[in-house]
A and B are shown apart, each in its own frame.
Chain A
């Protein structure tokens, strides 16, 4: 090896007589080499490359056998398999950059990053979320559908800014925008309200967009949604649930509310697909019956202090001005248990340590849960969230 030569170690992704493309951790390299031929595609190569020539010339090197027989799952078509993996690797890099931006945002905002357990004594009692049971941990455990209870216990213990990136699991949720195992970004601010959390959401999304797309004015073609231009710059407008229903379905909340199923049908079929195209939008003033773990709105008690962010018809996050009244929380959880029992759904226990934390005292606080896979998928143009997950459920 003479001065100026360097070594490239990677996978041959394309080759023909005299030319080849090798992919390594730094990217894809186009090289010239007298010994290159098509049969090398798919093999690992270790090549000494002379610098200063265009295209760079391989001085000498060795190439292993292409692994075509090693991938019978893909019908032996190694190239088809590899094309898929190559996209996945590019998206992995983009995903890692998004995670870096998210972490640096919360670090600069003085948040503490935490990791709470994934197997918990109660996965939450929400009527529309089912959990996966885990055996072998001594006591009954389920995988988190959201790390909410444990993060609120940290607030009760005195932390005021906590953030977590964690895997969450929701049973039977599988589709372009759903995977049963997905990554949640969840954060809480003590002594703050929903406004502050909406501010975080806008800032964060805009920063991730700048990192991945170089701009906050983006075309989106992802997750079955299409937008010719969405302006992600803060601030994002806010719209009430009632206003969104009137505007996109021609019907008001008052008429739909008595029939919850009809509400969700209209919401998911007509309203959601129309939200947040020119600019993302926060949907606020959810009816009190859909409060979940949100407090009632201090000024408008018929509504929950809850907000959802939508980008190009895709729900990105769901946040609350949190309920901190232990008695009210217990009453709601018991009501949820009764509702689950009535519907024949598994009835999970009430997490008494979570309620204990509320009894000890939680500062007024707000929290938000954002689907990281959806955020990345929207910004990199992935058709399915599974495409930005290292091995989506169908590739596992």
Chain B
């Protein structure tokens, strides 16, 4: 159990039977009044973010969560097969569980799989990935502005908004947290 003085960012707790991580917290206390700890928490199963307030004498259940590193092996039917990097143990995950990560998977890519009570509940791809553009409208030569964007499809299946000068075959760096284009890595 955690007490209010244990609260810090990224602490994993159980609320209403689900695992949560603390994103933000704030101690509030009117001088002569009761103290509260206001928190913003993310549900690790659904990704939903909510505000929760705790009283100073409340305690919080510790969530038994653990992150382990896997590498992506191949797709098998509807499932995606990963391999534990130390034990080589295989893990089959569904597209639903992978969420956004499914759009960035590349052969051998290292991902962090989050387990709660030994069950996989989420996958975090590397923060930055390099993807090849396979489909986009032709670029305008010399247009180096980054303000106007167009859609581009990548080899992993992600659709990314990219500047006009990007062409099919270009390698682009993408932030997987936001799905945003960062920069062109090199031309075709």
Residues in A lying within 8 Å of B, measured CB to CB: 126, 128-129, 172-178, 224, 260-261, 263-265, 267-269, 272, 290, 292, 308, 315, 318
Given A261-B55, A269-B38, A269-B53; A128-B33 close (CB under 8 Å): yes
Q: Is B35 engaged at the interface, CB distance under 8 Å to the other chain?
A: yes
The one of A126, A129, A268, A308 in contact with B28, judged by C-beta atoms closer than 8 angstroms, is A268
Chain A interface main SS type: mixed
CB-defined contacts of B55 to chain A, threshold 8 Å: 261
Give the distance in Å from the alpha carbon of A128 to the alpha carbon of B34 in the complex.
6
B28 with A128: CB separation less than 8 A: no
The answer to whether the Cβ of B26 comes within 8 Å of any Cβ in the partner chain is: yes
Instruction: State the Cβ distance, B21 to closest chain A Cβ, in Å.
Output: 20
Q: B30 to A264, Cβ gap below 8 A?
A: yes
Q: Write the nearest CB–CB distance from A175 to chain B, whole angstroms.
A: 3
The tally of residues in B whose CB lies under 8 Å from a CB in A reads 17
> Does any Cβ of A come within 8 Å of B5's Cβ?
yes
- State whether A268 touches B32 (Cβ < 8 A): no
- Bound CA–CA A224/B26 (angstroms): 10
A68 to B112, alpha carbons, bound, how many Å? 35
Q: Tell me whether B27 and A268 are in contact (CB under 8 A).
A: no
Contact A176 B35 (CB under 8 A): no
Q: Nearest chain A CB to B150's CB is how many angstroms away?
A: 37
Q: Which of A175, A178, A261, A292 contacts B34 (CB 8 A)?
A: A261
User: What are 28 A-B contacts with C-beta separation under 8 Å?
Assistant: A128-B32, A128-B35, A172-B35, A172-B56, A173-B35, A174-B5, A174-B27, A175-B26, A175-B28, A175-B29, A176-B26, A176-B27, A178-B29, A260-B34, A261-B34, A261-B55, A264-B33, A264-B34, A267-B30, A268-B29, A268-B30, A268-B33, A268-B34, A268-B36, A269-B53, A308-B31, A315-B30, A315-B31
Bound CA–CA A105/B81 (angstroms)? 73
- Cβ-based interface call for B15 (8 A): no
